[in-house]
Amino acid sequence: MKKTILASLFVLLSLAHTGAIGQERHEAPLFKDGDYWQYRVVEYGDYIKTERELNGLYELVYASGRFRALKVEESRKTELKSDTGLLLGLLTQTEKLQYLQFPLHKGRSWTTDYTFRPRRRDADRLVKTVTSVTDFGDITNGAGAFQAFKIERDARFRDVDHWRFVYYWSPQTRSVVSYSMEVLKGAAAGSKRQIELVKFGSVP
């Protein structure tokens, strides 16, 4: 009897770990040299139309243990030297923004405080965020159909600025496949940013 109970507990623990009892759970993904992702970024709103705007096509490449971010323009690719935090946060658990925290599973949430300098401002602001994994299901975009975690993020600077983020991370692409941000309050209220995965793969 005791052996039967122990065996049953072992099976339940194994099922829980693999997500077989209805709870999807994914650890941080592994990457290999040659992995790449292409994203299209579109920003809306005159307030964020500055020399720092991100509109365009970008490629993220993994090689020699790190990610490189490149701007794709016609047949030319130019490596970015700065302002890559947002783009890298679509793939990996960055120290500052923490768009992702693994393992991911429905119901998980975390808080993150970080400083950043808004466009058209000359001083840093301390932003406080609450990020929650709210669902796991199907999503379709230009790159295909995927199963993904839906992640919602609320970010605020005091009672001055308020941002809302909704994005989807898929274990199939090992990345965020769709991302949207809207400024709900502040000087840039009404501005939006949308990012979509358009292509991914691996070059031998």
Task: Label residues 71-104 b or e (16+ Cβ within 10 Å = b).
Answer: beeeeeeeeeeeebebbbbbbbebeebbbbeeeb
User: How does pLDDT run across 34-46, given as a tens digit for each residue?
Assistant: 999 999 999 998 7
Residue ranges, the chain, pLDDT below 70: 1-22, 50-51, 118-121
* Domain residue ranges in the chain: 27-202
pTM to 2 decimal places: 0.85
Cα angle 7-10-14, degrees, rounded to a multiple of 5: 140
Which CATH architecture describes the domain 27-202? Beta Barrel (2.40)
- Whether the CB-CB separation of 139 and 50 falls below 8 Å is answered with no
Distances (CA, A) of 125 to 39, 59, 156: 27, 29, 10
